[in-house]
Amino acid sequence: MHNYVSQWQEKEFRNYLQHILEDVVVSCIKLFENYVFMVQNEIQDMHWFSFHITIMVHITYRRNKDFDLIEHESKILKDIHYYISNENEHDTFFVQHVFKLQLGCL
């Protein structure tokens, strides 16, 4: 059931992107909290080393206003932004800060 639903959602999302209006921005956000770095081939002193961060991935899709079929440009523009924080508390202020930064990029 899960595979069916996820495939249906992907199909619907791709269909929606193909018919996106000119003044619409589709925003997809994923927040990874307490992401842990692991060192490959770590030495003995690093055995107890622990480093946690928060990664917020913000992907936006929008219509390319300069789309030209002859130039074979993409009809849809995709921007990916990564925001990384090493704060232990992940509150709404971090998310609001990221949204303000993202608005400046639009």
What is the chain's pLDDT, residue by residue, as a tens digit (106 residues)?
888 888 998 899 888 888 888 888 888 888 776 666 666 566 665 555 566 777 888 888 988 877 776 776 778 888 898 888 877 666 778 788 888 888 887 7
Residue 9 burial (CB < 10 Å; 0-12/13-18/19+)?
exposed
